[in-house]
A and B are shown apart, each in its own frame.
Chain A
Amino acid sequence: MVKHRALPGFGLTLGYTLTYVGLLVLIPLSTIFFKTATMSWDRFWAVVLDPRAVAAYRLTLFASLTAALINAVFGLLLAWVLERYPFPGRRLVDGLVDLPFALPTSVGGLALTAVFAKTGWLGRYLEAAGIKVAFTPLGIIIALTFIGLPFVVRTIQPVLQDLDAELEEAAATLGAGRLQTFRRVILPALVPPVLTGFALAFARAIGEYGSVVFISGNMPMKTEIATLLIVTRLEQFDYAGATAIAVVMLAVSFALLLVINLLQWWSVKRSAA
């Protein structure tokens, strides 16, 4: 038995990591809180609860939640089809799922605008049917669905792969129909990854900017999302106003990060049990 000795490089790599994280992440991020601290309490609340800001949060939350829900449903469908049904072109589709990760968000937004605008390939038919997509909240939901899709699919896929075939076989031998097996055996195992994917897509959607600005039209009180309001305040050199809204959004993001970690922990615990 070899005596356990520590590998070299601990001080060097950890020291480098801490310095880099500190300089590039911690110090810059902390400025948000320093900047907020220079505002008076009343001023902070006045900016944060300004009607235009409240309308922006409401729209951001509503559109992000809807998009995450759409992704939870269609992400589950896609993951299921990709894992269970062999069909020609399956690997190609599987690779394409990551497109929103690889495509610059602005190009994604531009591309969706080209498809869904009044004169676009699908937009013209939707317009004829009385459905307006571009420059409405619906357009924002479509953009956020696009960027959130891979999160749900990629969280569910590994769980589906690891799902024990014997469980389903046992259910079938015991006389359960296919739908019953899905509802009573498979679906319960998929609840944690679907929730995790939903939360990841939701968290991503809340902070999204690039893909939304092209399709949303950016009208204050109507189609202005919170990140856009931050940019608008910055362009007016209202640093404090931008920062106050950023603090609200950071608080939401960090709360979601906590929820996601708890979900992942729950998911691991359940699959281990």
Chain B
Amino acid sequence: MSQETILRSAQVTDARFARSDPPVARWLLIALALLFVGVFLVLPLVAVFAAGLAKGVGAYWAAISDPDAWSAIKLTLLAAAIAVPLNTVFGVAAAWAVTKFDFRGKQLLITLIDLPFAVSPVISGLIFVLLFGSRGIFGPWLIAHSIRILFALPGIILATTFVTFPFVARTLIPLMQAQGMEEEEAAMVLGANGWQIFRRVTLPNIKWGLLYGIILCNARAMGEFGAVSVVSGHIRGLTNTMSLHVEILYNEYQFAGAFAVASLLVLLALVTLVVKCVAEWQQQRLMTVVDEPADEEGT
């Protein structure tokens, strides 16, 4: 074997293993990363269940089936059941307007849609206090007509809707941009009307992405704390959502109860993560299937 071939084969091996690091470094880095994940993500999760069950299954069950806990659960579900559909319809409409048409100020509109993410949850609550509080802009009028918005259900729904506002639009806009609109245009040429185009062409292409957006929107809607805390007034059995109920129990030193109710929210988060991963995976699969016919056309 000539020296040249030896050199060349050495280079080839080098190239093939160029992206693999020495095993020692690899395992050290993996161990460090897992340690970080363990301390910051896994341990806290386990701690919630451990603390919730600290006084036994009976106490755990009692904390969850307590009437105040039940009314908190119902209020949380109700707020999410209103806020999530509202933001879903908005998200689809906004994504359609932004991705299917060109108009002036589009970038500004996208920035405005993102705005609630940049605003602190506490400030999101504050703005509704300034609008509807007793000394707020509409306060005197609302009192005169005995309409309650703040410290009542409407305030909680408004704050929840505000903080979860961008989720669906944010997920759909890049997705629909990537998919283009040839299929929709073809459907239109074939005589489909707007609703038919959306339901039969667009929706099947974006359904998993839409689910992804909805599930994240829902997780935030059910778990929101800062904004809801400012507008709710913390009235037990009336305006307490689950995360507020957890706080009250904790501040009253009913630790086992607080962690028991918190563990329900942890379960919600875990279910959210699973659904999110499935939706993400399915949408990626859908995108590759959608892309394939175009590739065949090229060959």
Write the residues of chain A forming the contact surface with B, with a CB cutoff of 8 angstroms. Answer: 2, 4-10, 12-14, 16-18, 20-21, 24-29, 31-32, 34-35, 74, 77-78, 80-82, 84-85, 87, 93, 95-108, 110-112, 114-115, 120-122, 142, 145-146, 149, 165, 168-169, 171-173, 178, 181, 203, 206-210, 213-214, 227, 230-231, 234, 237, 239, 242-243, 246, 249-250, 253-254, 256-257, 261
**B98 proximity list for chain A (CB < 8 A):** 17
Given contacts A107-B243, A111-B48, are A32 and B123 in contact (CB under 8 A)?
yes
Q: Cβ of B265 < 8 Å from any Cβ of A?
A: yes
5 pairs of A and B residues whose beta carbons are closest in the complex: A104-B223, A207-B120, A111-B44, A172-B18, A210-B225
Q: If A6-B101, A14-B97, A111-B44 touch, does A25 touch B19 (CB 8 Å cutoff)?
A: no
Asked, given contacts A95-B277, A99-B269, A253-B119, whether A81 binds B112 with beta carbons under 8 Å apart, the answer is no
Nearest A residue to B50 via CB reads: A114
**Cα distance, A18 to B7, chains bound together (Å):** 66
* Cβ-defined contact, A93 with B36, below 8 A: no
Chain A residues in 8 Å Cβ range of B165:
24-25
- State in angstroms the CA–CA spacing of A29 and B227 once bound together: 13
B278 CB, nearest partner CB in chain A, Å: 10
B39 contacts A by Cβ under 8 Å:
yes
The answer to whether A7 touches B185, judged by C-beta atoms less than 8 angstroms apart, is yes
A227 touches B94 (CB 8 A): no
Residue B118 is within 8 A (CB to CB) of chain A in the complex:
yes
Q: How far is the CB of A241 from chain B (nearest CB, A)?
A: 11
B284 contacts chain A at the CB level, 8 A cutoff = no
Q: For residues 94 through 109 of chain B, which have their beta carbon under 8 Å from a beta carbon of chain A?
A: 94, 96-98, 100-101, 103, 109
Known: A7-B185, A115-B44. 13 other contacts (CB 8 A): A16-B90, A29-B127, A78-B36, A95-B274, A101-B216, A102-B272, A104-B223, A104-B243, A107-B262, A122-B39, A122-B43, A207-B123, A234-B126
A98 to B219, CA, bound (A): 12
Chain B stretch 12-27: residues in CB contact (< 8 A) with chain A:
14-15, 17-19, 21-22, 25-26
For chain B, what secondary structure do more than half of its interface residues adopt (helix, strand, loop), or is it mixed? Answer: helix
With a cutoff of 8 Å between Cβ atoms, the chain B residues found around residue A146 in the complex are: 40-41, 44
What is the bound-complex CA distance between A242 and B123, given in angstroms?
9
Q: Assess the A253–B93 pair: CB atoms within 8 A.
A: no
The chain A residue sitting closest to B100, CB to CB, is A7
B253 CB to closest chain A CB, in angstroms? 13
Q: Which residues of B sit under 8 angstroms from A169, Cβ to Cβ? A: 14-15, 18-19
Within 8 A of A (CB), among B51-91: 51, 90
**CA A13 – CA B93 in complex, angstroms?**
5
Report the Cα distance A98→B276, complex, angstroms: 10
Q: How far is the CA of A120 from the CA of B14 in the complex (A)?
A: 49
Taken together as a complex, chains A and B put the C-alpha atoms of A249 and B226 apart, in Å, by 15
CA distance A102 to B29 in the complex (A): 26
Q: CB < 8 Å: which of A9, A87, A96, A231 contacts B30?
A: A87
Query: Which single member of B47, B111, B258, B262 contacts A121 (CB below 8 Å)?
Result: B47
| Complex A-B: 28 CB contacts under 8 Å | A5-B188, A7-B185, A9-B96, A10-B101, A12-B93, A20-B90, A21-B112, A27-B131, A29-B127, A77-B33, A80-B29, A81-B30, A85-B26, A85-B29, A93-B34, A95-B276, A97-B37, A101-B219, A102-B216, A106-B243, A107-B265, A169-B19, A173-B11, A208-B121, A209-B121, A210-B243, A246-B126, A253-B119
Known: A99-B41, A178-B21. A7 touches B118 (CB 8 A): no
- With A17-B90, A122-B39 as given contacts, are A2 and B131 in contact (CB-CB < 8 Å)? no
Closest beta carbon of chain A to B263's beta carbon, Å: 9
Q: Of A95, A210, A237, which is within 8 A of B121 by CB?
A: A210
B147 in contact (CB, < 8 A)? no
Q: Min CB distance, A183 to chain B, in Å?
A: 13
Which listed residue, A17, A80, A82, touches B97 by the CB 8 Å rule? Answer: A17
Q: Does B208 contact A (CB under 8 A)?
A: no
A107 with B112: CB separation less than 8 A:
no
Does residue B122 face the partner (Cβ distance < 8 Å to A)?
yes
CA distance A24 to B128 in the complex (A): 10
Interfacial chain B residues near A106, Cβ < 8 Å: 223, 225, 243, 246-247, 262
Distance between A123 CB and nearest chain B CB, rounded to angstroms = 10
